[in-house]
């Protein structure tokens, strides 16, 4: 009798599985959960985008109010007197009290794919000249209960629930014959254990993998994602999910090749899931937090306050040194006590930043170290790698946010370059007030010339290529597990003899 | 006889390497999480105490200055972690731990421990309670399989029931063994360690003991539900495969999917106003820097109130009165806008406590965080306490400015330590347990209902066991 070929057995298995209620119920369940996850993520990001539009609208209406005031304050008025901080036509007053700009981080087309840290990190940063290093410690309030429980998003379904569905399907659909004493009958035919098990596992994968990928594409389009504009990222995401599913199928294959019965296989696979997804991240996290504790933000507050407290005592000396260092200001040194607060700050801000720089660098170094550790863990633990990769494609990851913060900082420096010389020029060579009887100082009304922020994102190719190491790791682990399973499956189980 | 049976069943369980190994592994993970949480909390509390003390010293030791400048310099206050945060971190990693009590503004609480976590930090964040709630069902599933389902699979169960005087008693004995083992390894150690921790921190009080007791009872009840459902499934399912599959399926739905889904649904049903809109309302209704026109209007109001026609006629300082007027106006705005916003967050938690009835795991999330003092209701108490302190401080500073008129454009009055020391040190007393009960009453009722239902089902199934 000729041995049964793998191909013909696979076709037979595919036909049989097509009638499996369990298979289709599972696929339908995963698809429904994907839809819910996508809807939740999309609605959060839609809200954030609406907030950004509102912010822009408020900025515009604020500027139109400022312009109206400028017109009003240019006119002659009885007994006109106005402190500089109430005068938007005073360059110092405007720069500190009237400049209203926000750096906005727009959503990427595929943002619905993963919530990432978009529920924690701000999508709008206020731009103020005196914010140390440009980044105000602000955030958008999200319900903390939701943050602590975790949002039900697409990434949660793909990374956490999909593997469970796969391992349960594998455990139940490949051990039926073993549990019901039918494996002996199959073994008596001209089919090898490897061929039989491999065909069964592959047949399940052939139904599940494309169905899940299709479900992702359909649910993405249903939730209004412009797939064509993000085809590169979409293709990468689908490839990643494909590889992630292959990893779990490979793990299942390796476990099933030990020929446990259904309950034993399910127990082993679910335990493997728990160890990989819960145990190892928890363990690495605990070790990391013990070995390299994060610099205490509370202690940083203390350090900042000490610097803030010390500066006023040294302020006069610092300012005098700054004035002496410039020929055009050296003669204005005796005017320092009369300078307004906003003007003084144009000199003091760089000094404050210099004093804060060690704290800032320690925080940045800690963030970098955490990110590196997370990246390494992502190569070892597939769930972490995929979660991180999906967030990268969605643009909801920490790295993009850091990029956003760097650009915000650059823009702040640009604003300082714009305002500080104008403010400081008023010390030595004050602009004559055009009309002495008006409220306005009228030394700054060119509001359109103030630089505007616009975030520049790296191209999609860069985001996609960042995933290659994760994809390579997933593929390598899958191959390793397949080979292990293939080697172990060479003999039928002994308990059917 | 029953005691001997329990001992015998317990010995069998201990000899089951896989089941006992899973339980011990989980208990070890739990202790690891407990140790890590304890380390984080003790570091953070130590820093908070030290910096709060430094802040107080800075406040008292500040140089002579305009009281309004002092109100701007002001102080930072820090939220101490509740003693039982060791058991359940709840929302603590996601809410600010410090707030600056400055004049004019009710600042947000800043410096969230998980403000910008890496994927690893967020995925690996498990407090003991979240581990217990999320993964104890899986352990219960494995244990019930080990002590009952596998006996069915091997035919041992039929033999045991055939020789037992009362099959139902046999089922209950097994229930007690699994439930006892889970409580002994998973609830008792964290609860005892939490008690020890509280003693070390000198935070033991009747309120804390009651909270700890309630927390322990809640988790033992939760485990009773899990084990009862596991046994009922193992006894009723047509096959062992099916019982395990349904058990794992129920775990996925009830422990993994529903808590997140309910939380997200609550947000959809009662959405919060966005931060942007809240901030905008505050900026519009209580601007920190008022316009020339608003300033003139304020001055008119003050002059009218004090029956004066010009600044020089006032017995109080006009600038101080303006500051006071604006400050008190801002309090109304903060109460209305921010107070309303926070009330909505609390209302969301109330709704979550109601909807959590759909899943025992969701119920436990609500109950555990509230009893540990790590839910938003407790956090809100701190926000209120800090804001009350801020208002008292700023009002006192403004009164001082008002009381020293400098309306003739003379130099401003400078205050010194005699004023600073009139401001008491900020202290925050942990809110009483009633705060927790007010939120979680529906969840507690749901937990009791789940427990009764699960025990009733198991009892019914056990009664039907025949040789």
- Which of A176, A269, A284, A298 has the most B C-beta neighbours within 10 Å, making it the best mutation to test the interface with B? A298
Distance CA B433, CA A447 (A): 56
Worst-scoring range by mean pLDDT, B179-188, B376-385, B426-435? Answer: B426-435
The residues, ordered by sequence, that sit 6+ positions from B67 with a Cβ below 8 Å of its Cβ are: B397, B398, B400, B401, B413, B415, B419
What pLDDT score was predicted for residue B409? 65
CA B417 – CA A413 distance, rounded (Å): 39
Percent of chain B with pLDDT over 70: 99
Among B118, B141, B275, B279, the residue to mutate for chain A (most A Cβ within 10 A): B118
Q: How confident is the model at residue B464 (pLDDT cuts 50, 70, 90)?
A: confident
How far does A145 lie from chain B, in Å, by closest CA? Answer: 6
CB contacts < 8 Å between A and B, how many? 243
| Contact yes or no for B39 and A51 at CB 8 A | no
Q: Which of residues 386-405 of B touch A (CB under 8 A)?
A: none
Nearest residue, CB atoms, B36 vs list A156, A286, A302: A286
Chain B CB contacts of A439 under 8 Å are 292
The pLDDT value given to residue B153: 74
Task: Give the pLDDT of residue A259.
Answer: 85
- DSSP β-bridge partners for residue B415: B65
Chain A residue with the nearest C-alpha to that of B128: A282
Nearest to A78 by CA among B26, B296, B455: B296
| Mutate: best of B124, B249, B326, partner A, most A CBs <10 A | B124
B134 within 8 A of B258, measured Cβ to Cβ = no
Phi and psi, residue B331, nearest 5° = -60, -45
In this structure, what is the dihedral angle of CA atoms B57, B60, B66, B71, given to the nearest 10 degrees? Answer: 60
User: From the list A283, A285, A398, which residue is nearest B125 (CB)?
Assistant: A285
Task: Quote the pLDDT of residue A497.
Answer: 63
Q: Do B291 and A69 lie within an 8 Å CB cutoff?
A: yes
Most confident of A81-90, B142-151, B160-169, B213-222: B213-222
Q: Which residues contact B345 (CB under 8 A, 6 or more apart)?
A: A143, A144, B272, B376, B380
- Give the H or E element holding residue B55: helix B17-61
Cβ distance of A54 and B277 shorter than 8 Å: yes
Phi-psi region of A116 (alpha: psi -120 to 50; beta: other; left: phi over 0): left
The answer to whether the Cβ–Cβ distance between A282 and B43 falls below 8 Å is no
Encoding tokens for residue B312? 């020089």
Residue A408 has a pLDDT of 97
Query: Residue holding tokens 């030290």?
Result: B50
Instruction: Report the distance separating Cα B278 and Cα B342, nearest Å.
Output: 11
Collapsed DSSP state (helix, strand, coil) of residue B249:
helix
pLDDT at A64: 95
B202 in reach of chain A (CB within 8 A): no
pLDDT at position A240: 96
Query: Which among A152, A164, A293 has CB closest to B260?
Result: A152
- Which residues 6+ apart lie within 8 Å of A271 measured at CB? B22, B142
Classify the C-alpha dihedral B180-B186-B189-B191 as positive or negative.
negative
Residue B210 — left, alpha, or beta (φ > 0 → left; ψ -120 to 50 → alpha)?
alpha
Q: Is B123 within 8 Å of A286 when comparing Cβ atoms?
A: no
Among B97, B153, B239, beta carbon nearest to A298: B97
Contact A289 B135 (CB under 8 A): no
Identify the pLDDT of residue B12. 85
Nearest CA-CA partner of A358 in A410, A415, A306, A405: A306
Report CB contact under 8 Å: A117, B239. no
Q: What is the number of other CB atoms lying within 10 angstroms of the CB of residue B438?
A: 13
- The verdict on B414 touching A (C-beta cutoff 8 Å) is no
CA Rg value for chain A = 32
Mean pLDDT for B31-41 is: 91
Within 8 A of B341 by CB-CB distance, chain A residues are 141
- The confidence score (pLDDT) of residue A466 equals 87
pLDDT computed for residue B407 by the predictor = 61
- CB within 8 Å: A54 and B276: yes
Q: What is the pLDDT of residue B169?
A: 85
Say whether B94 and A148 touch across the interface (CB within 8 A).
Answer: yes
Q: Do A298 and B277 touch (CB under 8 A)?
A: no
CA atoms within 13 A on the CB side of A278: 25
CB B276 to CB A140 under 8 A? yes
Q: What is the pLDDT of residues B355-384, one digit of tens each?
A: 999 999 999 999 999 999 999 999 999 999
* Cβ contacts of B463 within 8 Å, gap of 6 or more: B168
pTM here is 0.91
Confidence of residue B411 (pLDDT cuts 50, 70, 90): confident
The fraction of chain A above a pLDDT of 90, given in percent, is 63
- Tens digits of residue pLDDT in A13-39: 999 999 999 999 999 999 999 999 999
**How confident is the model over B186-199, as a mean pLDDT?**
95
Name the token pair of A427. 């010390």
- Is a pLDDT exceeding 90 seen at residue B256? yes
For residue B346, pLDDT over 70 is answered with: yes
CA distance linking residue A59 with residue A409, whole number of Å: 19
- pLDDT tens digits along A34-64: 999 999 999 999 999 999 999 999 999 999 9
Which chain A residues are closer than 8 Å to B25 by Cβ? 279
Q: Check CB contact under 8 Å for B257 and A33.
A: yes
Q: Which two tokens stand for residue A372?
A: 């590196």
8 Å CB contact of B43 and A40 = no
A-chain residues within 8 Å CB-CB of B16?
none
Residue B57's pLDDT is 95
Mutation target to probe the B interface, by most B beta carbons within 10 A, among A94, A145, A286 is A145
Complex-level ipTM? 0.90
Residues 112-131 of B with CB under 8 A from A: 112, 114-126, 131
> A26 to chain B: nearest residue by CA?
B249
Q: In chain B, which residues have their Cβ closer than 8 Å to the Cβ of A149?
A: 259-260, 263, 365
pLDDT surpassing 90 at residue B161: no
Q: Which residues pair with A103 in a beta bridge?
A: A125
**What is the pLDDT at residue B296?**
80
Contacts of A302 in chain B (CB under 8 A): 50-51, 54-55
Residues of A in contact with B377 (CB under 8 A): none
Per-residue confidence (pLDDT) for residue A441, from 0 to 100: 87
Q: What is the DSSP letter of B147?
A: I
Per-residue pLDDT for B2 more than 90? no
CA distances B179 to A209, B21, B229, B464, Å, are: 39, 16, 12, 21
pLDDT, averaged per 10 consecutive residues of chain A (497 residues), comes to: 81 92 94 94 93 94 93 81 88 94 94 93 94 91 93 93 95 88 83 91 96 94 84 93 97 92 86 90 88 86 89 85 81 83 91 90 91 92 95 94 95 96 89 83 92 90 89 95 93 78
Distances (CA, A) of A201 to A242, A337, A479, A481: 15, 81, 15, 13
Residue A152 and residue B264: Cβ atoms within 8 Å? yes
Q: In this predicted structure, what is the pLDDT of residue B178?
A: 94
Binary contact (A40, B264; C-beta < 8 A): yes
Q: Are A117 and A401 in contact (CB under 8 A)?
A: yes
Fill in the DSSP letter of residue B110.
Answer: B
What are A423's two structure tokens?
């403010």
Contact by Cβ (8 Å): B288, B105: yes
Task: Answer whether A401 sits within 8 Å of B54, measured CB to CB.
Answer: no
Per DSSP, the residues of A64-107 read HHHHHHHHHHHSB-TT----GGG-TTSHHHIIIII--EEEE-PP
Contacts of B78 in chain A (CB under 8 A): 298
Closest Cβ opposite residue B245 in set A141, A172, A388: A172
What pLDDT, on the 0 to 100 scale, is given for residue A46?
93
Please spell the DSSP secondary structure of B267-328, one letter per residue: HHHSPPPPHHHHHHHHHHHS-SS--HHHHHHHHHHHHHHTT-SSGGG-SS-HHHHHHHHHHH
Task: Determine the distance in angstroms separating the CA of B51 from the nearest CA of chain A, rounded to an integer.
Answer: 6
Q: Which residue has the tokens 């379904």?
A: A157
The residue with greater pLDDT, A307 or B162, is: A307
> Residue A236: its pLDDT value, please?
94
Under 8 Å between Cβ of A137 and A301: no
- Under an 8 A CB cutoff, do A401 and B116 touch? yes
Q: Measured between CB atoms, which of B39, B116, B124 is closest to A282?
A: B124
Is residue B240 pLDDT above 60, yes or no? yes
Distance between CA atoms of B446 and B39, rounded to whole angstroms?
34
- Nearest C-alpha in A relative to B29: A279
| Residue numbers in A near B108 (CB within 8 A) | 138-139, 141
**B135 close contact with A: CB closer than 8 A:** yes
Which residues lie below 8 Å from residue B93, measured CB to CB, with a gap of 6+?
Answer: A148, B112, B113, B114, B125
Please report residues of A whose CB lies closer than 8 A to that of B125: 285
Contact A120, A142 (CB under 8 A): yes
Structure tokens at A225: 């994602």
């Amino acid at each position: 009798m000729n041995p049964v070929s793998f191909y013909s057995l696979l076709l037979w298995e595919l036909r049989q599985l097509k009638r499996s209620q369990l298979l289709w119920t599972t696929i339908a369940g995963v698809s429904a959960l994907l839809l819910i996850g996508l809807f939740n993520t999309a609605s959060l990001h839609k809200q954030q985008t609406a907030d950004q539009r509102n912010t822009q609208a408020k900025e515009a209406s604020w500027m139109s109010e400022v312009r109206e005031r400028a017109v009003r304050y240019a006119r002659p008025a009885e007994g006109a007197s106005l402190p500089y901080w109430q005068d938007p036509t005073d360059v110092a007053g405007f720069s500190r009290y009237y400049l209203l700009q926000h750096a906005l981080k727009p959503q990427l087309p595929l943002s619905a794919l993963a919530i990432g840290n978009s529920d924690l990190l701000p999508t709008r940063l206020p731009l103020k000249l005196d914010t140390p290093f440009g980044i105000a410690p602000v955030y958008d309030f999200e319900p903390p209960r939701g943050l602590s429980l975790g949002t039900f998003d697409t990434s949660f379904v793909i990374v956490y629930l999909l593997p469970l569905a796969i391992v349960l399907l594998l455990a139940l659909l490949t051990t039926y014959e073993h549990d019901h004493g039918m494996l002996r009958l199959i073994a008596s035919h001209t089919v090898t254990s490897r061929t039989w098990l491999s065909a069964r596992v592959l047949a399940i994968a052939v139904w599940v993998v494309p169905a899940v990928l299709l479900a992702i594409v359909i649910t993405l389009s249903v939730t209004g994602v412009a797939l064509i504009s993000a085809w590169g990222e979409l293709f990468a995401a689908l490839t990643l999910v494909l590889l992630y599913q292959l990893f779990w199928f490979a793990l299942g294959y390796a476990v099933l090749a030990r020929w446990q019965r259904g309950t034993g296989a399910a127990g082993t696979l679910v335990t493997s899931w728990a160890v990989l997804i819960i145990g190892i991240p928890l363990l690495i996290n605990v070790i990391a937090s013990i070995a390299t504790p994060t610099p205490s933000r509370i202690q940083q507050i203390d350090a900042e306050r000490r610097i803030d407290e010390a500066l006023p005592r040294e302020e006069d000396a610092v300012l005098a040194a700054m004035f002496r260092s410039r020929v055009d200001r050296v003669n204005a040194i005796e005017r320092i006590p009369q300078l307004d607060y906003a003007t003084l700050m144009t000199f003091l801000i760089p000094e404050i930043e210099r004093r804060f720089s060690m704290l800032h660098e320690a925080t940045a170094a800690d963030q970098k170290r955490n990110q590196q550790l997370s990246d390494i863990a992502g190569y070892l633990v597939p769930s972490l790698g995929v979660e991180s990769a999906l967030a990268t494609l969605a643009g909801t990851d920490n790295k993009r946010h850091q990029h956003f913060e760097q650009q915000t900082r650059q823009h702040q420096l640009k604003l300082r370059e714009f305002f500080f010389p104008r403010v400081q020029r008023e010390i030595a060579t004050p602009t004559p007030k055009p009309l002495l009887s008006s409220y306005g100082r009228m030394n700054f009304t060119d509001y359109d010339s103030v630089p505007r922020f616009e975030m520049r994102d790296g191209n999609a190719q860069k985001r996609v290529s960042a995933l290659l190491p994760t994809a390579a790791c997933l593929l390598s682990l899958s191959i390793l597990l397949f080979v292990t399973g293939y080697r172990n499956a060479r003999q039928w189980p002994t308990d059917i003899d | 006889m029953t005691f001997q049976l329990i001992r015998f069943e317990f010995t069998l369980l201990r000899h089951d390497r896989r089941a006992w190994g899973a339980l011990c592994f989980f208990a070890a993970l739990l202790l690891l999480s407990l140790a890590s949480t304890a380390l984080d909390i003790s570091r953070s509390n130590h820093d908070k105490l030290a910096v709060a003390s430094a802040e107080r010293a800075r406040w008292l030791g500040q140089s002579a200055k305009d009281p309004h400048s002092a109100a701007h310099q002001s102080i930072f206050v820090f939220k101490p972690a509740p003693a039982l945060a060791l058991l359940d971190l709840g929302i603590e990693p996601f809410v600010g731990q410090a707030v600056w009590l400055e004049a004019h503004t009710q600042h947000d609480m800043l410096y969230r421990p998980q403000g910008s976590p890496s994927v690893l930090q967020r995925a690996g964040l498990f407090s003991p309670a979240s581990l217990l709630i999320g993964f104890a069902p899986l352990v219960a599933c494995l244990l019930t399989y080990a002590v009952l389902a596998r006996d069915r699979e091997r035919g041992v169960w039929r033999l045991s029931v055939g020789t037992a005087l009362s099959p139902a008693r046999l089922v209950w004995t097994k229930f007690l063994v699994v439930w006892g083992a889970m409580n002994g390894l998973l609830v008792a150690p964290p609860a005892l360690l939490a008690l020890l921790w509280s003693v070390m921190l000198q935070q033991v009080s009747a309120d804390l003991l009651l909270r700890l007791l309630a927390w322990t009872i809640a988790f033992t009840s939760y485990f009773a539900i899990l084990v009862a459902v596991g046994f009922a499934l193992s006894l009723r399912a047509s096959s062992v495969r099916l019982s395990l599959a349904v058990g794992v399926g129920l775990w996925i739905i009830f422990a993994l999917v529903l808590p997140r889904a309910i939380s997200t649904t609550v947000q959809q049903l009662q959405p919060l106003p966005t931060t942007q809109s809240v901030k905008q309302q505050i900026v519009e209704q209580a601007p920190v820097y008022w316009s020339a026109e608003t300033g003139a209007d304020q001055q008119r109001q003050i002059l009218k109130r004090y029956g004066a026609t010009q600044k020089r006629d006032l017995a109080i300082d006009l600038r101080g009165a303006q500051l006071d007027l604006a400050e008190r106006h801002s309090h109304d705005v903060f109460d209305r806008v921010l107070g309303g916003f926070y009330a909505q967050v609390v209302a969301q938690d109330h709704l979550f406590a109601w909807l959590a009835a759909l899943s025992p795991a969701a119920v436990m999330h609500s109950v555990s965080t509230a009893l540990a003092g790590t839910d938003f209701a407790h956090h809100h108490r701190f926000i209120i306490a800090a804001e009350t302190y801020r208002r008292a401080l700023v009002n006192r500073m403004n009164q001082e400015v008002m009381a020293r008129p400098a309306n003739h454009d003379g130099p401003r009055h400078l205050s010194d330590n005699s004023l600073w020391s009139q401001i008491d040190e900020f202290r925050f007393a942990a809110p009483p347990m009633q705060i927790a009960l007010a939120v979680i009453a529906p969840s507690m009722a749901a937990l009791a209902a789940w427990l009764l239902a699960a025990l009733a089902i198991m009892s019914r199934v056990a009664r039907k066991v025949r040789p």
